């Protein structure tokens, strides 16, 4: 049985505007020096508190209160704003893989479970994911906990598991768990950094994902 674990933000869903705008609002409310947009994008994929510790620097002790305010603001904005869009081809790739008898799908994300349910449920694809690992359940990426828990939950082994993600955190998490690491170049980390973090390939469109997986699983030597 093969397991494909998707990251969410920056991989399946383009949520950058909501995340950056909400983070800037929190820093403004708390009278803290605003981080750059690049710095905020750079922590996407980490759990919220871990990312805030990085952004806050000398004010890291305020990460808990900032995280609570971020969650409140983000939830309010989601109710009043359009749903964050799926990346082109994401729905088709997910449904194609979900239709294969020997493939299981999962999520490994720094989002909360509430956030995953809202965005993927809103797009009507939540049902395709058999295992969902979030910041509520496991240590922050790049710790391998999310991948290890997902494999244990569905009975998969590292050799038949891959992580699809846009950040170095995703690649490092996958490799630490012994799983394959597939990078995508449309997300929030510079894609040229992904191979150094362990990506075996960096894809430039979802059209490439299913063919790549077919080659990887059926012709491992030629796909490497």
Q: What element of type H or E holds 143?
A: none
Arithmetic mean of pLDDT, 38-61:
94
- Report residue 74 CA to chain centroid gap: 17
Residue 223 in this model has a pLDDT that exceeds 70: no
pLDDT at 157: 97
Residue 220 in this model has a pLDDT that exceeds 70: no
**Cβ–Cβ under 8 Å, residues 199 and 179:** no
Residue 66 in this model has a pLDDT that exceeds 60: yes
Short-list 145, 132, 143, CA closest to 105: 132
Arithmetic mean of pLDDT, 203-208:
98
pLDDT tens digits, residue range 5-16? 999 999 999 999
**Cβ–Cβ under 8 Å, residues 100 and 130:** no
pLDDT at 208: 98
Please state, in angstroms and rounded to a whole number, the distance separating the CA atoms of residues 81 and 189: 25
- Judge if 121 and 46 occupy the same domain: no
7 is catalytic: yes
- Judge if 146 and 105 occupy the same domain: yes
Give the sheet arrangement for strand 161-165, strand by strand: 131-133, 103-108, 2-6, 161-165, 180-184, 201-203
Domain's final residue, options 46, 80, 114: 80
Short-list 189, 219, 187, 213, CA closest to 201: 213
Cα dihedral 30→31→35→37 (10° resolution):
80
pLDDT at 168: 97
pLDDT tens digits, residue range 124-138? 999 999 999 999 989
Q: Which of 7, 14, 166, 170 is catalytic?
A: 7
pLDDT tens digits, residue range 18-44? 999 999 999 999 999 999 999 999 999
Domain's final residue, options 80, 113, 135: 80
Q: How many CB atoms lie within 10 A of CB 76?
A: 11
**Cβ–Cβ under 8 Å, residues 17 and 41:** no
- Judge if 66 and 102 occupy the same domain: no
Q: If you average pLDDT over every residue of the chain, what do you get?
A: 95
Instruction: Give the CATH number, domain containing residue 199.
Output: 3.40.50.1000
pLDDT at 219: 75
Q: Give the domain range for residue 95.
A: 2-14+85-223
- Judge if 50 and 121 occupy the same domain: no
166 is catalytic: no
The phi, psi pair for 183, rounded to 5°, reads -90, 155
């Amino acid at each position: 049985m093969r397991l494909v674990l998707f990251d969410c933000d920056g991989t399946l869903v383009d949520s950058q505007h909501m995340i950056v705008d909400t983070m800037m609002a929190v820093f403004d409310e708390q009278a803290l020096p605003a981080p750059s947009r690049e710095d905020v994008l750079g922590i996407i994929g980490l759990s919220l508190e871990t990312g805030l510790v990085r952004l806050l620097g000398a004010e890291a002790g305020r990460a808990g209160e900032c995280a609570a305010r971020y969650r409140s603001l983000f939830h309010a904005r989601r109710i009043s704003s359009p749903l964050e869009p799926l990346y082109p081809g994401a729905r088709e790739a997910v449904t194609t893989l979900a239709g294969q008898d020997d493939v299981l799908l999962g999520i490994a994300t720094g989002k909360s479970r509430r956030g995953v349910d809202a965005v993927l449920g809103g797009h009507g694809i939540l049902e395709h994911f058999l295992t969902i690992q979030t910041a509520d359940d496991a240590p922050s990426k790049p710790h391998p906990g999310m991948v290890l828990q997902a494999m244990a939950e569905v009975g998969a082994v590292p050799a038949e598991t891959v992580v699809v993600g846009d950040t170095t955190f995703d690649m490092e998490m996958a490799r630490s768990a012994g799983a394959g690491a597939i990078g995508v170049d449309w997300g929030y980390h510079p894609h040229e950094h992904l191979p150094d973090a362990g990506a075996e390939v960096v894809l430039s469109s979802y059209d490439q994902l299913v063919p790549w997986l077919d080659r990887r699983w059926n012709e491992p030597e030629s796909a490497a």
